[in-house]
Every structure is written in structure tokens, then in C-alpha cells.
Amino acid sequence: MTDQSDLTTTLGKLTLKNPFMLASAPPTASVEHILRGFRAGWGGAVIKTIHPDGMAIRDVSPRFAAWKGAGGELLGFENIELLSKKSVSYWEAGIGQIREEFPDRILIASIMGDPDPKSWQELAGTVQDAGCDAIELNVSCPHGMPEAGVGAAIGQNPPLVNQLTRSVVKSVKVPVYVKMTPNITDITLPAKAAAAGGAAGISAINSVQSLCGVDIETFGPHPSVDGMSTHGGYSGPAIKPIGLGRVAAIAGCIDLPVMGIGGVSTWQDAVEYLLLGASAVQVCTAVMWNGYGIVKEMNRGLVSYLAWKGFSSPDELRGLGLRQLTAHQSLSRDVRIRPVITDAKKCDGCGRCVVACRDGGYGAIRLVKKKPIIDPAACDGCGLCILVCPSGALGALEDQ
């Protein structure tokens, strides 16, 4: 493996040893958490959101729920956890301790004040003076905090995002990032408002408001807290498509660095975010599920990928995929794919493609002696049969 310095990544004016950062969440809930993360090889970390000492934070139990596949693999994860339980003074001292042991890592302080911008300014000044490299404004928490007039209650209101960003930016010298909520119709509006307010960059996305599931025996949604539940924040692999879409939208409308967040579990996920305009990625749920050590394979995989594709830095991937995004009206109507059997040995005649095409497509496939026969006159080229084929026997040819 090439030296990890090959993964050096620029994030605006900041420089990361690699593009993998720990998100503001349970894996950054204490100084020891962050130190263990940095020892494992993470390029940066965003501290679990710091708040004024007068803001009471009392978590419920339990506060997590998971949607798992048949093999126990994580598909989606919900949490109703609140902000940091540590005091401001704890983080003042802790930031210095982290900086002393890891001066080469990027440490960002996530903060949330009350509805008065002055509380945000005071917190920003405190964490800046303690030694943080940047500040992330949490205006996107989807549960608990909006009821108090902060969190997503601010992030869903572009004028408030602009006002708050402007007030914090003018009070500090370090870069200020604003973390976007996906729980809004058009995420580009608060992103543009943050940019107009002087933000150095954008973090996207926070978790998606959700209910992870319902116990069909007791009728209670998960997680159950003494028989009751509430809407929470959804994360994990299931939200990656949402995060990718939001990052692409933001990167396409403002010229600021973006930290991509949402469902990053592998180096391949990170590459997708970089290709759609992100400068770095933040990871939370995958660490909670598998531990800090996942960054080692992320680093190894990304180094190999860059060498294979002939790139010398993750920076060179940034935004390459945006070139192939366009409006729906601009997509070609002249090209059609045609499903074909690319590997006859893989086809076992299961008939999944026949059922899918019959009930969800155009009835263009039938089984003859346990082999699919495709009627080109009936096929509309939707591609459903290829997606449902469990063995990978079906592929696509492109007809002009």
C-alpha cells in the first residue's frame, strides 16, 4: 500500500490526511472517543454538538432502532439521541488535549445555541479559542431540538440560516460550515442562504426524519420508551441515495466545499460522494455498527482505486460525476437498452424476470425450457428484469 499521505485532501482552506471524518454523533461524544478514532486513522472529526450549559440534555432509554436485512446486515438506523452531555468547560480542555496529541488532524466543533444568536456567537468564540480548526453550525437536528426553536426549525427557514450564519461568521476567524437538513423541499435554498451569510462550506446531510418500524404485536413504534415513541433521525445505508442527491444539488448551485454525509460505509460510498462534488465525507452509523477500524479498509481501498484510475489525489475526483447530471427533459429519448443473457451458465430458469416484466413491465419475457426468451417488439427497455435477476445472468445492450 502507498503511504497514506497520498490521500491528502483539501477542504477549503483546511488540509486532511484523508477524506474520512467522524461525524458529530456518538462516536465523537468524548475526548477519548475522538482520540481512539484518530489513533485508528481518521483524517478528522466533528465533535458531538456542544451547547450552552443551561440547555438541559436528558436522553431517553432506549433511543436507537435498526432495520436489518435477512442476514442481520444493517439497512437503516434510527436515533432519538440529543446533543453532547459534556459541559462547555469539558470541551474547552478536551479540544486542547486532542490538538496536542494529534496536531495533524482536523478537529471541527459542532455547536448549537438557543434561539438568540448571541449564544451561538459565544460558543463559537469559546471553541475557536480552545483550538478548533473550524465550526459546524447544527441547524438540522430533526428531533427534540426543533420543539425548542432550534435544530431543523432554523435549517428549514433560509432567512434564519442566513442571519445565524452571518452573526457567527463575523464573530470568529476560523471557517464556519453549516449542516443542512434533508427534511425540506429544496435544500439549495438554505445552502444558498448559508453561502450568502459568509459560510466557508456546507455539511450535508443530517439524518432524515422517520419512524423506523412498528411492533405489530404491541402496535408501538420503535424505539419504545416506556410504551411510547417519537419521530427520530434516520441514517445508515438506506439514506445514501438521499445524501448523494442533496450533495449534488448543493455542489451544483454554490461554489463552496461540501462535506458529504449519509450512508457512507465503504470507500466506494465515499468515492460516489466525491464524484458528486463533496470535498470530504463524514461517517457515523457505520462506525457505531462496526467500530473505528473500518477506516483502515477505507484508506486502503481508496488508495488502490486512485492508482487504478490514474489519479494522484482524492481532490481530482471532485465533481467529475456532476458533468453527467442534467435535467430530466434533457435526457435522450433516442437510446434504448435491450436485455440479453450475458452468461447462460448463470441462468437457472428461476423466472423472476418473467414475473417482474409481466406484473411490473410490458410482458416481454417468457420462459421456454427454463430459459428466458425476450420479445424485442414488446420490450420497452425499462431495465427492471436486469435489476431483479438474482444471478446476474441478464445484461444490457444499447440500441441507437
357 a catalytic residue: no
| Euclidean distance between CA atoms 169 and 134, whole angstroms | 11
Rounded to whole angstroms, the Cα distance separating 102 from 24 reads 18
Q: In the numeric block, which cell numbers belong to residue 30?
A: 468524548
Strands 232-235 and 208-210: antiparallel
Please tell me the number of Cα atoms within 13 Å of 87 on its side-chain side: 4
Catalytic residue among 141, 212, 284, 353: 141
If you count DSSP H runs as helices and E runs as strands, how many of each does the chain have, helices first? 12, 18
Q: How far apart are CA 321 and CA 312, in angstroms?
A: 18
Whole-angstrom distance, CA of residue 299 vs CA of residue 9: 12
- In one-letter notation, the amino acid at residue 316 is E
Classify strands 106-111 and 134-138 as parallel, antiparallel or unpaired: parallel
**How deeply is 323 buried, as exposed, middle or buried, from its count of CB atoms within 10 A (0-12, 13-18, 19+)?**
exposed
Catalytic residues: 141
